[in-house]
Chain A
Amino acid sequence: MHFNSKDIDLYASQKDYVDTAVVPLIELDLTASGMKASAGASEYLQSLTVILEKQFKGRILLLPPISYVRAADRTELGEQLKKELSETGFKHIFYLTTDPKWRSVEELDNVLWLPAIPTGDMDQSFKKSVMEDQLRQVLPLFTKEWTHHS
Chain B
Amino acid sequence: MGTPVPEVGPEVMVGVVVAIAAFLTISILLGFFMRKKAKSFGEWLVGRRDIGPLVTGFALVASYLSGWAIFGNAGLGYAYGWSGSWLIGTTCVAGTSLCLVIGYRMRRYVALGARTVPEMLRVRFESRTVQALAGFAMIILLIVYSVGQYKAMATVWKITTGTPFYGSLLVTAVLVLLYLIVGGYTGTQWVSCFQGIVLTIVGWTLGITTLIWAGGLGEISRVIETQTFTAPNGTQTGIPLDSYTLPLPPPEGLAFPGVDYVGVIAAMFMFLLMATGFPHNISRFLGTRKITKREYWIMLLILIVGGLTPLWIGLAGFAARTKWGNIFMTSEYYPMYGDSAPVYASISAGGVPLVSLFAASVFAASVATIAGMVMIMATNITRDFIHNAYPEASPKKMLWLTKLMLIPFIAIPLYWTFTSPPPILSEFMAGSAVAQAGIFFFVVGVSMYWKRATKWGAIATIIYGLVVTLLHPKAYGKIVGLYHWGYWALLLMFGSALIYVLVSLTTKPLSKEKLEKLFPK
To the question of whether A and B form a pair in one complex, the answer is no
